[in-house]
């Protein structure tokens, strides 16, 4: 028997309802904030991610699924931002649209060690606003993340906020850290020893206790930030205060991807466990459009991990899915003539009344008893029984499964009757 690849998931029919609900809520809220959907390929040139995320980042060093074909090297996308900026530049959207607000959802791939909340194929819901350097869009994007979480029903999350400063500020912080950590290298974990030369900022948000202790004693202040970056960050905080979005400034928050500058944020949730507590994350990436061959254009975005959203929802009260499942009408024909009649009824219910319906005729050799059992298993709200009596009387027997009542309903009034019942119940 074949098994799924470790770190991947089957999303089974009893779970897809919740997925669709979260997708639907997201689409609605993104549209209200005037974001349009973009869909980009799942595979891109490997070099796109090397260039965008940074050669020395963990994703590029260890986590990309790479496909080699002759001379070409492709990677399954580990995230969406690089692809979207590539599409923005390649399709000259800077010229035709200028400032653009985009959203996306779909699978991403990272060769990580699978565990709870950490998959090799996972899904993201995210957005990118490209074409503005101003802090107002930072406020909108973070407020949008907050609005989405509230609409999903996620509770007990924290928005951790920081600024990395501009490219020059990041370099100053790098140098500062190099000095401060030089004589403390022996106390760092092996990963951070490696990060010291490759990606020193990441030492700041290492989860290892010994590293945290060292970092907490470094007393990293705000002196590496230039006045413009300080003012930008103040504006963002004030904007969020006005919008009543709760956040917590966390000066050690850096991000695992090189393209970030200025505002960065991460949404943390305790229900996910200490190792991967991020429900989502984002920030500014003002240099990336230019880096990928486009014009100078400021940009900011974020993405949620879909599976982590589900874990966070699970850790609270289970969402009431049942009320969103459309009520099923189950048609049971008894005999060959009734089968033909049931086809007429089904197409009427489905095509002109859009009533969710199915029939026991699809399952061979059913007695009334087993067909009724099947109706119960499927959670049918109503059962329509058609036998010889009903055909003669040009009517059906309609059973209300919840009330356990039944009545004869004339064919002519059936759709109306079911339509009215369905409307009343929904």
Are 42 and 107 in contact by the 8 Å Cβ rule? The answer is yes
State how far the Cα of 339 lies from the Cα of 341, in Å rounded to an integer.
5
- Per CB under 6 A, the segment of 143-151, 164-172, 234-242, 303-311 that binds ligand HAM is 303-311
The structure tokens listed for 223 are 């002196």
Length of the chain in terms of residues written: 426
State how far the Cα of 118 lies from the Cα of 137, in Å rounded to an integer.
30
Nearest CB to ligand HAM, comparing residues 23 and 112: 112
80 lies in the site for ligand HAM, by CB under 6 A? yes
| Candidate list 44, 128, 140, 390; residue touching ligand HAM; CB under 6 A | 128
If phi over 0 gives left and psi between -120 and 50 gives alpha, with beta otherwise, what is residue 365? left
State how far the Cα of 302 lies from the Cα of 124, in Å rounded to an integer.
10
303 lies in the site for ligand HAM, by CB under 6 A? yes
308 lies in the site for ligand HAM, by CB under 6 A? yes
Nearest CB to ligand HAM, comparing residues 261 and 303: 303
Query: What does residue 222 show for φ and ψ, rounded to 5 degrees?
Result: -110, 15
Q: Which residues contact 229 (CB under 8 A, 6 or more apart)?
A: 163, 165, 166, 169, 262
| Candidate list 302, 327, 372, 398; residue touching ligand HAM; CB under 6 A | 302
126 lies in the site for ligand HAM, by CB under 6 A? yes
Find the farthest-apart pair of alpha carbons in the chain and give their distance in angstroms, rounded. Answer: 95
- Per CB under 6 A, the segment of 26-34, 118-126, 214-222, 310-318 that binds ligand HAM is 118-126
The structure tokens listed for 214 are 């060292």
SS3 sequence, 114-125? CECCECCEEEEE
Strands 329-333 and 382-386: parallel
Angle at 178 between CA 175 and CA 183, to 5 degrees: 150
Nearest CB to ligand HAM, comparing residues 280 and 294: 280
In the complex, minimum distance from the CB of residue 246 to ligand HAM, in angstroms, rounded to a whole number: 18
75 lies in the site for ligand HAM, by CB under 6 A? no
54 lies in the site for ligand HAM, by CB under 6 A? no
Nearest CB to ligand HAM, comparing residues 299 and 414: 299
The structure tokens listed for 115 are 């565990």
271 lies in the site for ligand HAM, by CB under 6 A? no
280 lies in the site for ligand HAM, by CB under 6 A? yes
Nearest CB to ligand HAM, comparing residues 118 and 262: 118
165 lies in the site for ligand HAM, by CB under 6 A? no
138 lies in the site for ligand HAM, by CB under 6 A? no
Nearest CB to ligand HAM, comparing residues 288 and 398: 288
State how far the Cα of 265 lies from the Cα of 70, in Å rounded to an integer.
40
Q: How many CB atoms lie within 10 A of CB 177?
A: 20
Give the CB-nearest residue to ligand HAM: 305
- Per CB under 6 A, the segment of 88-96, 299-307, 330-338, 381-389 that binds ligand HAM is 299-307
In the complex, minimum distance from the CB of residue 77 to ligand HAM, in angstroms, rounded to a whole number: 10
131 lies in the site for ligand HAM, by CB under 6 A? no
301 lies in the site for ligand HAM, by CB under 6 A? yes
In the complex, minimum distance from the CB of residue 226 to ligand HAM, in angstroms, rounded to a whole number: 22
- Per CB under 6 A, the segment of 77-85, 165-173, 313-321, 324-332 that binds ligand HAM is 77-85
State how far the Cα of 408 lies from the Cα of 396, in Å rounded to an integer.
6
- Taking the alpha carbons of 235, 160, 23, 317 in that order, is the dihedral positive or negative? negative
In the complex, minimum distance from the CB of residue 340 to ligand HAM, in angstroms, rounded to a whole number: 51
Chain residues 217-236 in contact with ligand HAM, contact rule CB under 6 A: none
Nearest CB to ligand HAM, comparing residues 218 and 291: 291
> In the beta sheet, which residues pair with residue 218?
none
Q: Which residues contact 396 (CB under 8 A, 6 or more apart)?
A: 345, 384, 385, 386, 390, 408, 409, 411, 414
3-state DSSP call for residue 426?
coil
In the complex, minimum distance from the CB of residue 81 to ligand HAM, in angstroms, rounded to a whole number: 4
**Binding-site residue total for ligand HAM (CB under 6 A)?**
26
Q: Where are the beta strands (DSSP E) in 354-404?
A: 357-359, 382-386, 395-400
DSSP 137: H
| Candidate list 54, 135, 282, 294; residue touching ligand HAM; CB under 6 A | 282
State how far the Cα of 358 lies from the Cα of 88, in Å rounded to an integer.
45
Give kind and range of the element (H or E) at residue 52. Answer: helix 46-53
* Binding map of ligand HAM across residues 88-117, x = CB under 6 A, - = no contact: ----------------------x-x----x
Which residues contribute to the site for ligand HAM (CB under 6 A)? 79-81, 110, 112, 117-119, 122, 124, 126, 128, 256, 278-283, 301-305, 307-308
């Amino acid at each position: 028997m074949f098994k799924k690849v470790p770190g991947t998931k089957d999303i089974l029919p009893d779970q897809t309802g919740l997925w669709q609900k979260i997708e639907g809520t997201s689409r609605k809220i993104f549209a209200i904030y005037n974001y349009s959907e973009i869909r980009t390929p799942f595979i891109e040139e490997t070099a796109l991610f090397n260039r965008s995320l940074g050669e020395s980042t963990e994703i590029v060093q260890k986590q990309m699924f790479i496909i080699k074909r002759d001379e070409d090297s492709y990677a399954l996308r580990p995230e969406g931002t690089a692809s979207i900026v590539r599409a923005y530049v390649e399709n000259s959207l800077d010229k035709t649209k200028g400032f653009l607000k985009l959203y996306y959802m779909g699978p991403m791939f990272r060769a990580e060690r699978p565990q709870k909340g950490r998959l090799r194929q996972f899904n993201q819901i995210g957005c990118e606003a490209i074409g503005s350097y101003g802090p107002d869009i930072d406020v909108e994007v973070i407020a949008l993340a907050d609005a989405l979480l509230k609409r999903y029903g996620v509770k007990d999350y924290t928005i951790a906020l920081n600024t990395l400063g501009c490219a020059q500020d990041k370099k100053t912080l790098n140098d500062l850290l190099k000095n401060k950590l030089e004589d403390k290298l022996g106390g760092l974990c092996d990963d951070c020893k490696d990060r010291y030369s490759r990606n020193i900022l990441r030492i700041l948000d290492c989860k290892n206790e010994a590293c945290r202790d060292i970092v907490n004693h470094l007393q990293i202040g705000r002196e590496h930030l230039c006045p413009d970056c300080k003012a930008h960050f103040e504006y963002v905080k004030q904007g969020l205060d006005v919008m009543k979005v709760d956040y917590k400034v966390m000066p050690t928050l850096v991000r695992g991807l090189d393209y970030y500058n200025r505002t960065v944020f991460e949404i943390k949730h305790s229900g996910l466990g200490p190792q991967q507590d991020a429900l989502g994350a984002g920030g500014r990436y003002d240099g990336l459009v230019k880096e990928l061959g486009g014009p100078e254009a400021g940009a900011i975005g974020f993405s949620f991990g879909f599976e982590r959203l589900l874990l966070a929802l699970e850790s609270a009260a289970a969402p009431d899915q049942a009320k969103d499942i459309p009520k099923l009408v189950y048609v049971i024909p008894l005999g060959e003539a009734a089968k033909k009649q049931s086809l007429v009824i089904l197409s009427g219910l489905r095509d002109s009344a859009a009533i969710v319906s199915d029939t026991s005729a699809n399952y061979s050799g059913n007695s009334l008893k087993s067909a009724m059992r099947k109706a119960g298993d499927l959670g049918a709200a109503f059962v329509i029984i058609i036998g010889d009596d009903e055909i003669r009387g040009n009517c059906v027997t309609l059973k209300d499964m919840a009330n356990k009542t039944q009545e004869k309903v004339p064919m002519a009034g059936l759709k109306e009757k079911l339509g009215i019942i369905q409307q009343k119940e929904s």
